[in-house]
Amino acid sequence: MTAGAPVITLDGPGGAGKGTLASELARGLGWWLLDSGALYRLVGLSALREGLNPGADADRARAAVIAQGLAVHFVPDTGAGQRVELAGADVTDAIRADDVSEAASRWAALPAIRQALLARQRDFVVPPGLVADGRDMGTVIFPQADLKLYITASAHERARRRYAQLSEKGVAANLERIYREIVERDQRDASRDAAPLKPAADAHVIDTTGEDVATSLEKIHDLVAAKGWRVD
Ligand code: DC
């Protein structure tokens, strides 16, 4: 049990359906939601705006200061999910841009950035409970979590989902390129020294390949119900 309130962690690679499952679960439980990836994306966005380079010492120090002081505000949305504000400006869509995804992944590999975001992530543990979505929620940030889930899907399936998402928005996309980028990013997230992407030893692994959201959510609800929590 985590001090203060119960915590459920969802970790796994990008595009596995984690974000949707985490926000549906938080809504069903009436708990708070931490989208930790959004914090790394905000660092990436701010660093891009300031033209910072993760390879330069002075820029890394500046980015750690930015990470420590991020004026972020998560605003509950009427649909599933939430909007993200940085210093009062809505950046929900801006932080999903490809260059920001790329920057977030690079800055997230740096221990100083991860350290700068550590305490602020733990501050999200507030009654009645927290659903935390990320890469190292169950391994590093909330090792005492009450329930740990590792959500995964094949790289091909994740590429297809991303492609469908972009097509739906009318954005021209190349499936092969998306696949290659996903594999590269997985590689970087899993092979970095600082909090590499991997399931916690006590995590339940849920593979969403070929599954719709409702089916995956049902599996999660069974695990949650077994803990005695009520989901609507
Ligand atoms: O989940 P996402 O795609 O929004 O995450 C953006 C980037 O941040 C991704 O490259 C992985 C990284 N990240 C991380 O290193 N640790 C987390 N807890 C969450 C995200």
Q: Nearest to residue 144, comparing CAs of 3, 19, 13?
A: 3
Contacts of 28 by beta carbon, 8 Å cutoff, 6+ apart: 221, 231, 232
181 lines ligand 1 (CB under 6 A): no
Tokens, residue 1: 């049990």
How many A from CA of 184 to the centre of ligand 1?
Answer: 14
Q: What pLDDT score does 190 carry?
A: 85
Q: Which atom of ligand 1 is nearest to the CA of 19?
A: 1
Can you give the pTM of this predicted structure?
0.92
Q: Considering only CA atoms, which residue is closest to atom 1 of ligand 1? A: 37
Q: Considering only CA atoms, which residue is closest to atom 18 of ligand 1? A: 134
Does residue 2 lie within any of the structural domains?
no
Does residue 166 lie within any of the structural domains?
yes
How many A from CA of 109 to the centre of ligand 1?
Answer: 10
Does residue 229 lie within any of the structural domains?
no
Does residue 231 lie within any of the structural domains?
no
Contacts of 228 by beta carbon, 8 Å cutoff, 6+ apart: none
Do 196 and 190 meet the contact criterion of CB atoms below 8 Å apart? yes
Rounded Cα–Cα distance for residues 222 and 220 (Å):
5
- Structural domains of the chain, count: 1
Q: What pLDDT score does 189 carry?
A: 82
Phi, psi of 207 (to 5 degrees): -95, 115
Kindly report the CATH number assigned to the domain that includes residue 80.
3.40.50.300
Does residue 102 lie within any of the structural domains?
yes
Q: How is residue 96 annotated by DSSP?
A: G
Residue 128, preceding peptide bond in cis (omega within 30° of 0): yes
What is Dmax (Cα atoms) for the chain? 49
Residues of the chain falling short of pLDDT 70? 1-3, 78-81
Q: What pLDDT score does 39 carry?
A: 97
Does residue 232 lie within any of the structural domains?
no
Does residue 226 lie within any of the structural domains?
no
Q: What pLDDT score does 76 carry?
A: 78
45 lines ligand 1 (CB under 6 A): no
Does residue 227 lie within any of the structural domains?
no
Its domain, for residue 107, covers 7-221
Q: What pLDDT score does 185 carry?
A: 84
Distances in Å between the Cα of 54 and the Cα atoms of 44, 60, 66, 87 are 10, 6, 13, 23
